[in-house]
C-alpha cells in the first residue's frame, strides 16, 4: 500500500507474505502501481473526499436531530429541507 501526503513524505509498504509469494516481475508491477498512487497524489485526494463525505453526514445528522427538515415544532420549513439536501 502507499501512504503519505506528498512525494517527499510518502512511502510504499509491502508485506513479507507478498515478498515471498510474488515473482520479481510481479513485485515490480505492484510497486509501480503503488508508486503511481503517490505520483498522482491519490492519498491526498481520498483524504479530502473522505472528509467531505463525513462532513456531509454530520450536517445531515444535525439537521435531522434538530428538526430542521420538519420545521422545528410542527411547521413546514422548505428552506430546512433544501439545506438538508445540499450535501447530497
Total domains present in the chain: 2
Domain that holds residue 60: 43-85
User: Does the annotation mark 7 as catalytic?
Assistant: no
Q: What pTM was computed for the model?
A: 0.59
- The closest of 74, 53, 49, 48 to 61, measured between CA atoms, is 53
Reading the block at residue 42, the C-alpha cell is 491519490
Task: State whether residue 2 is helix, strand or coil.
Answer: strand
* Interval 8-54: pLDDT, tens: 889 999 999 999 999 999 999 999 999 999 999 888 899 999 999 99
User: Do 74 and 61 share a domain, yes or no?
Assistant: yes
User: Do 50 and 76 share a domain, yes or no?
Assistant: yes
User: Do 49 and 33 share a domain, yes or no?
Assistant: no
- The closest of 37, 29, 27 to 6, measured between CA atoms, is 37
User: Do 50 and 81 share a domain, yes or no?
Assistant: yes
* Interval 50-74: pLDDT, tens: 999 999 888 878 777 776 555 555 5
Query: For residue 34, what is the enclosing H or E element?
Result: helix 24-39
7, 25, 26, 34: the catalytic one is 34
- 57-78 burial, b at 16+ Cβ within 10 Å, e below that, comes to eeebeebeeeebbeeeeeeeee
User: Do 51 and 63 share a domain, yes or no?
Assistant: yes
Amino acid at each position: 500500500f502507499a501512504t503519505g501526503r506528498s512525494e517527499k513524505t510518502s512511502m510504499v509498504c509491502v508485506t513479507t507474505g507478498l515478498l515471498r509469494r510474488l515473482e520479481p516481475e510481479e513485485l515490480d508491477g505492484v510497486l509501480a502501481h503503488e508508486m503511481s498512487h503517490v505520483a498522482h497524489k491519490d492519498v491526498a485526494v481520498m483524504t479530502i473526499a473522505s472528509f467531505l463525505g463525513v462532513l456531509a453526514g454530520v450536517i445531515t445528522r444535525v439537521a435531522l436531530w434538530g428538526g430542521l427538515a420538519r420545521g422545528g415544532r410542527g411547521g413546514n420549513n422548505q428552506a430546512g429541507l433544501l439545506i438538508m439536501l445540499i450535501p447530497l
